Amino acid sequence: MHPMTWSLVAALWVERVVSATCPNKTASPLAVPIRDTQVDPSIANSTMRGIPAKIGTPPQDIVMIPWPDLNNTYIYDAQSPCNPNVVANDVVCRIRRGGEYQEANSSSFAKSSDLVAAGGATQEITTRGSEAGVPKLISTSLAGTEVLQVNGTNATAFPIGIPRQIWDNGYTTLHVLGLGSNSTYLDALVRAGQIPGRAWSVFWGRMWTGSSATDMDGSLVLGGYDEEKVIGRNFTQPLDYSEETGCWTGMKVTVSDMVLNFRNGTDASIMPHNSAVQCCIVPQRQLLWEAPTDIVGQFEEATGTVDAGYSLGLNRDARLINMTATPNIFDGDVTFVLSSGLQVRVPNDQFIVPHADFLDSGERSVNQSQKEILIAPVDSNPATLGRAFFTAAYLLVDHDDRSFTLWQANPTTRSKLVAAPGSSSGKAAGCGGVGGGQGDAGDGSGAGSNKDATIQGRGVSAGVIAGAAVGGAAVLAGIVALVFFLRRRRKRNREGEMAPAGPLPQPDRARGSAEGAVPGSMPKLAEMRADEYHRPQEVHGESLAPPGAGLQETGRPLTFELDAAEQRR
Ligand SMILES: *[C@@H]1O[C@H](CO)[C@@H](O)[C@H](O)[C@H]1NC(C)=O
Ligand SMILES: *[C@@H]1O[C@H](CO)[C@@H](O)[C@H](O)[C@H]1NC(C)=O
Ligand SMILES: *[C@@H]1O[C@H](CO)[C@@H](O)[C@H](O)[C@H]1NC(C)=O
Ligand SMILES: *[C@@H]1O[C@H](CO)[C@@H](O)[C@H](O)[C@H]1NC(C)=O
Ligand SMILES: *[C@@H]1O[C@H](CO)[C@@H](O)[C@H](O)[C@H]1NC(C)=O
Ligand SMILES: *[C@@H]1O[C@H](CO)[C@@H](O)[C@H](O)[C@H]1NC(C)=O
Ligand SMILES: *[C@@H]1O[C@H](CO)[C@@H](O)[C@H](O)[C@H]1NC(C)=O
Ligand SMILES: *[C@@H]1O[C@H](CO)[C@@H](O)[C@H](O)[C@H]1NC(C)=O
Ligand SMILES: *[C@@H]1O[C@H](CO)[C@@H](O)[C@H](O)[C@H]1NC(C)=O
Ligand SMILES: *[C@@H]1O[C@H](CO)[C@@H](O)[C@H](O)[C@H]1NC(C)=O
Ligand SMILES: CC(=O)N[C@H]1CO[C@H](CO)[C@@H](O)[C@@H]1O
């Protein structure tokens, strides 16, 4: 082999083995605002709250939402349907989607035969409780690669799926930024040396306060979290995606009490002892709490609320308050007491909010004199803590550490970003021994600030191009690393004991894949149904979805399920 070819191969090998899995520890986390964004410039008040982003060439504006239980990123075009039971017309569909991507108008869209061929993740989670269409998303979506820009970062040749079926429930309709355990987006940022690790965190901000002075943008942090936005000690738990937990985001917590904090200083618990509720944290859901029916009843009784059914607006399923029959609308806060010891006090104006909906024209209308409570009763569905919880709590998901962490939130616009513990602890897959030396390999591109640098998708050719493009520096670093590795291995072999026989010098990687491949934890695809509306009886304080779920309507078309959703009340 020609020496130059050899060194290129070596460099690519090192790129694959080292930088493909080892984060750039000197990179800083990135903050991305979550804010009210006008979706269509020609329609006043066509507002959705989410992450403003740009896709394609020339760039098209879209609004995205972080999605913890999807690995791939899904973008809607004009042919991605909305649930007609939820969304009035095509204009409202387009606005609630956060804009429609038009791939035909983008010179950078490259169609692939399917999402996996585009370099996408091969699996989405199929645990019951996630949105009904998730198991078929990968196989049914139109797929390709695109340029995706989120807050100045630029992911090129990035794999996207374009849904061709109604897969969600229509309430959380924005374009999906997939942040699951095998997130292609986090992967792309880590590979490009843009963020220090595969972690993200979220604070939803404050909305509906009726004043722009007290409303506040939220933020998504990629690669770490915002130290200014947390208070007190952290509460860390392992991420557990196993089917047995019944929690499809991997984040199950136990709410052991809910306390009403009346204005006069009196606190009153509304949950009897031994009635703890296991909840799945689902920050993309539109409410505060999807709670067992009897607890919603106790809340209404204790607060003197008469409801008028459920909302069909933007906060769909929230309890509408009968404004004439409820003389004193509850003006106190609520405190969630988790079994971990964390207490989260949600202020009144973040869960008793004005009714908001979209007019047929695509304008968001807010009726300040019709209030609704962001709590919904669930009978057979798992209880969830949704986005309004994160007006008062702060969430970090650290895939490198396989954990998630909750804090009480400090609602502030101040910001101090720090890397997540997983990226510095060396727990990141494959970063045991060899990782250290790759720090500056990427600098050959001459990119000034790290936000301007280009991020390559995970497509094989993309990685190769990236490896080649960084040029001399990478080749040099590759040779250095290879020589370093060979010398170290020779040295170990001389010493004669601990060196493993295999060619890969990566104990942590071996451990990582072993953990990922526990035979018992493999999902039984044929058995599963990620169907929110056909779930076995809920058990308070017990497993959310007991095994042996019984008969499942696996063969039924999705339209049936959506109708069932309408009928469940
Ligand atoms: C847009 O919303 C604001 C505040 O909700 C309201 O004052 C204004 O009248 C709305 N504009 C239109 C064109 O509806
Ligand atoms: C992501 O991909 C991994 C590996 O294929 C899979 O185990 C997991 O269930 C997927 N979903 C999430 C939310 O992590
Ligand atoms: C985008 O494409 C559509 C047809 O697919 C066309 O009607 C429209 O004018 C195009 N928009 C732009 C900005 O090129
Ligand atoms: C992002 O990448 C595309 C394709 O490489 C390029 O055309 C565009 O100028 C880049 N944008 C930024 C802001 O770097
Ligand atoms: C999921 O991620 C792990 C660790 O990054 C990687 O080893 C594995 O190949 C990925 N699996 C899929 C299906 O992409
Ligand atoms: C790692 O991050 C630092 C700081 O942002 C940046 O200067 C450097 O280019 C990055 N290295 C790689 C390999 O991307
Ligand atoms: C949580 O606190 C412990 C102990 O104070 C610390 O070791 C750990 O790094 C913290 N985790 C996070 C995510 O800050
Ligand atoms: C505070 O208000 C609540 C609800 O109206 C009432 O039950 C309680 O007795 C009051 N406490 C005091 C000390 O007045
Ligand atoms: C509200 O309550 C009043 C008095 O009880 C009742 O007449 C009215 O029908 C209720 N309105 C709704 C929308 O439920
Ligand atoms: C706002 O809500 C009040 C109370 O339910 C209702 O009477 C009024 O008609 C609503 N206004 C609009 C514009 O829908
Ligand atoms: C380039 C860009 O849009 N940067 C923005 C990223 O988000 C922060 C807020 O979280 C803004 O301050 C930056 O201007």
For residues 329 and 349, give the distance between their C-alpha atoms in angstroms, rounded to a whole number.
12
187 touches 222 (CB < 8 A): no
Which residue is it, tokens 């550490």?
A: 401
Ligand sitting nearest the alpha carbon of 363: 1
State whether the Cα torsion 120-126-131-137 is positive or negative: positive
Per-residue pLDDT band at 351 (split at 50, 70, 90): very high
SS3 content of the chain, % helix, strand, coil (to 5): 25, 30, 45
What percent of the chain is predicted at pLDDT more than 70? 70
- At residue 47, the pLDDT reads 96
Give per-residue pLDDT as tens, 399-436: 999 999 999 999 999 999 999 998 876 555 445 433 33
Close Cβ partners of 72 (under 8 Å, ≥ 6 residues apart)? 115, 120, 121, 124, 137, 138, 159, 160, 161, 178, 184
pLDDT at 491 > cutoff 80: no
CB count in 10 Å sphere of residue 475: 21
Q: Ligand 6 mean position to 449 CA, how many Å?
A: 9
Lowest mean pLDDT among 118-122, 209-213, 249-253, 268-272: 209-213
User: CATH 2.40.70.10: does it fit domain 230-398?
Assistant: yes
Structural domain boundaries in the chain: 27-205+412-459+554-567, 230-398
Section 13-36 average pLDDT: 71
SS3 of 367, please? strand
- At residue 252, the pLDDT reads 97
Section 222-251 average pLDDT: 96
Section 3-28 average pLDDT: 54
What percent of the chain is predicted at pLDDT more than 90? 61
Give per-residue pLDDT as tens, 353-381: 999 999 999 999 999 999 999 999 998 88
Section 40-66 average pLDDT: 97
Identity of the amino acid at 489:
R
pLDDT at 439 > cutoff 50: no
Give per-residue pLDDT as tens, 281-307: 999 999 999 999 999 999 999 999 999
CB count in 10 Å sphere of residue 139: 11
Ligand 9 pocket mutation, candidates 307, 324, 371, 372, criterion most atoms within 8 A of CB:
324
Which neighbouring-strand residues pair with 150?
A: 53, 153
The pTM is what?
0.79
305 touches 329 (CB < 8 A): yes
Ligand sitting nearest the alpha carbon of 423: 7
For residues 12 and 10, give the distance between their C-alpha atoms in angstroms, rounded to a whole number.
5
Nearest alpha carbon, ligand 1 atom 3: 45
CB count in 10 Å sphere of residue 105: 11
pLDDT at 506 > cutoff 80: no
Section 469-496 average pLDDT: 40
Q: What is the DSSP letter of 251?
A: -
Ligand 1 pocket mutation, candidates 45, 208, 211, criterion most atoms within 8 A of CB:
45
Q: Ligand 8 mean position to 266 CA, how many Å?
A: 6
Q: Ligand 9 mean position to 408 CA, how many Å?
A: 38
Classify the phi-psi angles of 395: left when phi > 0, otherwise alpha if psi is within -120 to 50, otherwise beta: beta
CB of 405 within 6 A of ligand 7: the answer is yes
For residues 66 and 229, give the distance between their C-alpha atoms in angstroms, rounded to a whole number.
18
- At residue 129, the pLDDT reads 81
- At residue 455, the pLDDT reads 55
Section 502-528 average pLDDT: 24
Domains 27-205+412-459+554-567 and 230-398 share a fold: yes
Section 246-259 average pLDDT: 97
Section 121-135 average pLDDT: 89
- At residue 428, the pLDDT reads 52
Highest mean pLDDT among 204-218, 384-398, 535-549, 550-564: 384-398
CB count in 10 Å sphere of residue 124: 26
Q: Which fold has domain 27-205+412-459+554-567?
A: Cathepsin D, subunit A; domain 1 (2.40.70)
Which residue is it, tokens 């209308």?
A: 365
Which ligand 8 atom is nearest residue 328's CA? 5
Give per-residue pLDDT as tens, 71-105: 999 999 999 988 888 888 999 999 999 999 999 99
- At residue 319, the pLDDT reads 97
Mean of the per-residue pLDDT values for the chain? Answer: 77
Which ligand 6 atom is nearest residue 438's CA? 13
Q: What order do you get walking across the sheet with 364-373 strand by strand?
A: 307-310, 319-321, 364-373, 352-358
Nearest alpha carbon, ligand 10 atom 10: 367
Q: Write the burial class of residue 404 (CB in 10 Å: 0-12 exposed, 13-18 middle, 19+ buried).
A: buried
Ligand 5 pocket mutation, candidates 182, 183, 239, 509, criterion most atoms within 8 A of CB:
182
